């Protein structure tokens, strides 16, 4: 089968591409390389440098005739969505609708969409079930949730099949560690450089950290799962506070981190953990990587840049 992975040069997308190639799929990547890297794209995949919002996207779909689409391309950070809601909307909403148009006009069989824990906002029940109210506290959470609703309506009106994967905080090799990176990649880099970290808030805020290889596996399973037109949480189901994360990172690296505390970040949620029962039942998916081990791998990959490359990974 022929699969398009949007954002396939990015952090999560490039791991998805690797897994699909391992499974002998034919893979095309569409990525504008705004944050993704050409060298992260598996050489067995075809890379097209294009924006998902491009008017040329439809012609590509007509030419390639994709069976499935895995949609990872996005503006992925909460903070940037607060700085530039317009850009977040343009990439995450308008770009996704452009992609959906190409999907329905060329009879794509199914689209798998990367959504987020940020769609829930501050939920009352932890771990959060899929049915919890969607009350995003950032434009990023809002834009992802909006696309979920587009998917539901595209299904209803045009018959396009979909699966939404609401991912918790994904970490692992190849994650960016600049301002756009996640807390684990940022703290790992600081640790490696023996520089202090800044904790926004009291460090008591929790996240559900899920390893990128586990997320890639969930995407592959979602392509052919019998149950579709539904959303599934992809997570470990456990909460880890930032203060605990710092301790685990110190253990993984054998180094002490110096910490500064600053004001909480605008749009941040306080507690986050997602109930993953439904993914176990309907996708036959379970997280495999324990956090302490995943942190060790992430840190080692940073120390040995070669391990960040596709060829160096063992996962
Ligand atoms: C992250 C993801 C987002 C995903 C969401 C799912 C990133 C960049 N964003 O958002 O794509 O959809 O999880 O829940 O991976 N923090 C610090 N110091 C730092 C950096 C972060 O204290 O230097 C704190 C933040 O304020 C926040 C927590 O760490 O409380 C996690 O932040 P971050 O890794 O940016 O992820 P989310 O905002 O949860």
Could you tell me if residue 175 is inside a domain?
Answer: yes
**Which value, in Å, is the radius of gyration of the alpha carbons in the chain?**
19
269 vs 239, which has greater pLDDT?
239
Query: Averaged over 131-144, what is the pLDDT?
Result: 97
Predicted confidence at residue 267, as pLDDT, reads 77
Predicted confidence at residue 306, as pLDDT, reads 57
Query: CATH number of the domain that 175 lies in?
Result: 3.40.50.720
Provide the pLDDT confidence category of residue 312 given band limits of 50, 70 and 90: very low
Predicted confidence at residue 238, as pLDDT, reads 97
Predicted confidence at residue 176, as pLDDT, reads 86
CA nearest to 271, candidates 213, 202, 215: 202
Tell me: pLDDT of 304 over 80: no
Could you tell me if residue 282 is inside a domain?
Answer: yes
Could you tell me if residue 129 is inside a domain?
Answer: yes
Could you tell me if residue 256 is inside a domain?
Answer: yes
C-alpha to C-alpha distance for 94 and 98, rounded to whole angstroms: 6
For 168-204, the pLDDT digits (tens) are 999 999 998 766 689 999 999 999 999 999 999 999 9
Question: Does residue 127 have a cis bond before it (omega within 30 degrees)?
Answer: yes
Contacting residues for 127 by C-beta, under 8 A, at least 6 apart = 208, 233, 235, 237, 238, 239, 273, 274, 275, 276
Q: Is 211 a catalytic residue?
A: no
Could you tell me if residue 313 is inside a domain?
Answer: no
Predicted confidence at residue 179, as pLDDT, reads 60
Query: Measured in angstroms, how far is the CA atom of residue 199 from the centroid of ligand 1?
Result: 11
Tell me: pLDDT of 309 over 80: no
C-alpha to C-alpha distance for 99 and 150, rounded to whole angstroms: 11
For 3-60, the pLDDT digits (tens) are 999 999 999 999 999 999 999 999 999 999 999 999 999 999 999 999 999 999 999 9
Distances (CA, A) of 74 to 135, 174, 226, 268: 20, 16, 27, 19
Predicted confidence at residue 177, as pLDDT, reads 76
Tell me: pLDDT of 102 over 50: yes
- Structural contact between residues 30 and 8, judged by C-beta atoms closer than 8 angstroms: yes
In which domain, by residue range, is 239 found?
Answer: 2-308
Provide the pLDDT confidence category of residue 128 given band limits of 50, 70 and 90: very high
Distance of CA 232 to the CA centre of its chain: 13
Q: To the nearest whole percent, how much of the chain has pLDDT over 90?
A: 91
Could you tell me if residue 236 is inside a domain?
Answer: yes
Would you give the DSSP letter of residue 306? G
Pocket of ligand 1, beta carbon within 6 A: 76-78, 116-118, 168-169, 181-183, 186, 198-200, 205, 207, 242, 265, 268, 272
Q: Which of 64-68, 290-294, 298-302, 305-309 has the lowest mean pLDDT?
A: 305-309
Provide the pLDDT confidence category of residue 303 given band limits of 50, 70 and 90: confident
CA nearest to 115, candidates 64, 72, 177: 72
Predicted confidence at residue 302, as pLDDT, reads 86
Tell me: pLDDT of 74 over 50: yes
CA nearest to 15, candidates 299, 304, 298: 298
Provide the pLDDT confidence category of residue 314 given band limits of 50, 70 and 90: very low
Output the residue whose Cα is nearest ligand 1's atom 27.
268
Could you tell me if residue 203 is inside a domain?
Answer: yes
In testing the pocket of ligand 1, which one of 7, 78, 215, 270 has its CB within 8 Å of the most ligand atoms? 78
Query: Averaged over 258-286, what is the pLDDT?
Result: 95
C-alpha to C-alpha distance for 118 and 138, rounded to whole angstroms: 8
Number of domains in the chain: 1
Could you tell me if residue 314 is inside a domain?
Answer: no
Tell me: pLDDT of 223 over 90: yes
Query: If 0-12 CB within 10 Å is exposed, 13-18 middle and 19+ buried, where does residue 263 land?
Result: exposed
In testing the pocket of ligand 1, which one of 91, 207, 236 has its CB within 8 Å of the most ligand atoms? 207
Q: What is the mean pLDDT of the chain?
A: 94
**In this structure, how many other beta carbons lie within 10 angstroms of the beta carbon of residue 10?**
29
């Amino acid at each position: 089968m022929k699969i398009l992975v949007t954002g396939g040069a990015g952090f999560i997308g490039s791991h998805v591409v690797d897994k699909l190639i391992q499974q002998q799929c034919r893979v095309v990547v569409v990525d504008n390389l705004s944050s993704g890297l050409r060298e992260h794209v598996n050489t067995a995949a075809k890379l097209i440098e294009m924006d998902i919002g491009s008017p040329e996207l439809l012609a590509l779909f007509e030419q390639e005739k994709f069976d499935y689409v895995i949609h990872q391309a996005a503006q992925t950070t909460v903070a940037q969505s607060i700085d530039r809601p317009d850009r977040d909307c343009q990439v995450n909403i308008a770009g996704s609708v452009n992609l959906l148009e190409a999907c329905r006009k060329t009879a794509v069989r199914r689209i798998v969409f990367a959504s987020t824990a940020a769609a829930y906002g501050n939920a009352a029940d932890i771990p959060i079930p899929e049915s919890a109210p969607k009350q995003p506290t950032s434009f990023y959470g809002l834009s992802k949730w909006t696309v979920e609703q587009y998917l539901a309506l595209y299904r209803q009106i045009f018959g396009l099949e979909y699966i939404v994967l609401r991912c918790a905080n994904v970490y692992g090799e190849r994650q960016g560690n600049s301002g756009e990176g996640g807390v684990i990649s940022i703290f790992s880099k600081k640790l490696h450089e023996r520089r202090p970290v800044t904790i926004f808030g009291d460090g008591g805020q929790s996240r559900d950290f899920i390893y990128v290889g586990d997320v890639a596996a969930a995407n592959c399973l979602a392509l052919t799962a019998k149950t579709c037109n539904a959303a599934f949480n992809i997570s470990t189901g456990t909460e880890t506070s930032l203060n605990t994360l710092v301790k685990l990172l110190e253990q993984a690296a054998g180094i002490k981190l110096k910490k500064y505390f600053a004001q909480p970040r605008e749009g941040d949620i306080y507690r986050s953990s997602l109930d993953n029962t439904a993914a176990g039942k309907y996708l036959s998916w379970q997280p495999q990587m324990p956090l302490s081990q995943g942190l060790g791998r992430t840190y080692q990959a940073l120390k040995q840049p070669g391990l960040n490359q596709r060829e160096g990974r063992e996962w």
